[in-house]
Amino acid sequence: MNKIEIYDTTLRDGAQAEGISFSVNDKLKIIKLLDELGADYIEAGWPGANPKDIEVFQQAKSLELKNSKVAAFGCTRKANGKPEEDKILEQLLKADTEIITIFGKTWDFHVEHALCTTPEENLNMISDSIAYLKSCGKRVFFDAEHFYDGYKNNPEYALSAVEAAHKAGAERVILCDTNGGCLPAEIKEITETVIERLPKAVIGIHAHNDGDMAVANSIIAVQAGAKHIQGTINGYGERCGNANLCSVIPTLQLKMGFETIGDSLSGLVLTARQISEIANRKSNSYSPYVGSSAFTHKGGVHASGVMKQSSTYEHINPELVGNTRKILISDQSGGASIKEKISRMPVGSKFSDNDIKKVLERIKELEWQGFTFENADASFELMLRDILDKKPVYFELKGFTVITDTRGNGSLNTEASVKVKVGEQILHTVSEGDGPGHALDRALRLALKPFYPAIEKFKLSDFKVRILDGTDGTSAKTRVHVETTDGFERWDTVGVSRNIIEAAYLAIVDSIVYGLLAHREIPQNSHILNLK
């Protein structure tokens, strides 16, 4: 009685989102991820709608799923037709799934103007289709399309439609807020009415997010007695999306005491991020529960509070959904924030209270100049080491030059030359690149690689430029953010200058120094340095 079924429609409704196009392989990967997460049902697509979905259902048969059942999706038979002759129902049966979900009209406005048939024939279409599929040995779920709007327009007809589905043998009757415009109070009242009318039916909800209410509407439907929720991972879906299961599931399980996916809840963040990668969509940092910023604290008062008692500014323990707490370092940080951040770094034990004050002063000074360490942990650690006189000196810059010209052929060419001192040696190297930052990076690597072989593994994986004070025009300060990877780990650095090339240089140098430090390369000043 305490179980709420989770029906995922990421692969069908989610795939209708603008900018998402899953390949067959993508869909199969997502099915495995959802099965591992513990979804009860996975709607894999509409068989026959396209060759891709036909192949998905064929290949899905060979998947050894532990928790989930795959469902095929389609619609009722055509008006004035026979179910055994209907091409759509034929394709649904060919998908060879245990469960078939069909949708039918419950709003008389749609019956008359979209289907162009009579209210009576629509009820027959619902009953005939479900009964036929049941006779073929299938479990049938019924999605009552536009149910809530239909109920508001003509309550008795909408109720007669879901009643017809239930009497025909539908195991689940799912009430759809297809236009996504209903308010929670409406959802609760109407859902309760349906449950009173159909006390033996298992009622579900399928909510869209056009009014930013899909999660709230799903939750209140459960409070009204619904036992089945349809939604998508990350809220993907047509227009504004569907109910976000990444919010619905933990709310039901952690706050309302319902059983959803059990111990798999701790894998929710990883699943959400893996599916966003497959969908080629950037993860929403601010998404509740699973976003990278969901448990991120910047204000000093907040950071101090969560360090003493996490519930002061966190509604759940982030680890329950597989997330982590982050303390951001900025000019708003207090001593508590600095201590929390430093305690997680290798140099943390070296800092006294007086050092903490120095760090806070340095941060405020640098942020006034335009630096930010919110997403530049590597530059932050190097700053800490500098305060402790523990920053390694792998090389010393003697100068650099960057030239960009067309070489007379109309195409831009960029060349960078750097002069650096490594130990007692001075090196002068030149390299070309696709732009100033790229050319500088290559020239530096060329000079340093003979001394520090690990540098060959480093690769710039992201490069962002932001103008800080646009009112100063071309003399405005520029902040450059660089992400670097060695193929396993990633680290972020930052540089600021009124000269964009110098800003890029500063960020790139920090990225190289941090990478060498992480790989425990021995710097030329190792006789005065303790790297621990």
Model confidence over 352-371: pLDDT tens digits? 667 767 777 776 677 666 66
| Higher-confidence position of 372 and 53 | 53
Structural domain ending residue among the three candidates 324, 352, 368:
368
For 3-23, the pLDDT digits (tens) are 999 999 999 999 999 999 999
Is position 360 within any domain? yes
Same domain, 191 and 326: no
Is position 381 within any domain? no
For 278-299, the pLDDT digits (tens) are 998 888 989 999 998 898 877 5
| Higher-confidence position of 58 and 381 | 58
Same domain, 268 and 416: no
CB crowding 347-358: b at 16 or more within 10 Å, else e: beebbeeebbee
Same domain, 410 and 361: no
Is position 383 within any domain? no
Is position 464 within any domain? yes
Same domain, 350 and 452: no
Same domain, 153 and 266: yes
**Contact between 168 and 127 (Cβ < 8 Å):** yes
Same domain, 10 and 110: yes
pLDDT value of residue 528: 38
What's the CATH number where 51 sits?
3.20.20.70
The total domain count for the chain is 3
pLDDT exceeds cutoff 80 at 526: no
Tokens 């976003």 -> residue: 291
Residue 137's φ and ψ, nearest 5 degrees, are: 90, 15
Name the DSSP class of 385.
H
Give the range of the structural domain holding residue 335, as residue numbers without chain letter: 296-368
Same domain, 430 and 361: no
Same domain, 348 and 210: no
pLDDT exceeds cutoff 50 at 532: no
Q: What span, in angstroms and rounded, lies between the C-alpha atoms of 449 and 426? A: 14
The secondary structure element, H or E, covering residue 142 is: strand 139-145
pLDDT value of residue 328: 66
- Give the contacts of 263 (CB within 8 A, at least 6 positions apart): none
Structural domain ending residue among the three candidates 351, 368, 385:
368
Is position 269 within any domain? yes
Same domain, 132 and 201: yes
The lowest-confidence range among 66-80, 162-176, 319-333, 442-456 is: 319-333
At residue 190 the predicted structure's pLDDT band, cuts being 50, 70 and 90, is very high
Same domain, 169 and 216: yes
pTM of the shown model: 0.71
Same domain, 504 and 404: yes
pLDDT value of residue 186: 98
For 134-154, the pLDDT digits (tens) are 999 999 999 999 999 999 999
What's the CATH number where 487 sits?
3.30.160.270
For 415-430, the pLDDT digits (tens) are 999 999 988 889 999 9
**Contact between 360 and 339 (Cβ < 8 Å):** no
**Contact between 134 and 127 (Cβ < 8 Å):** no
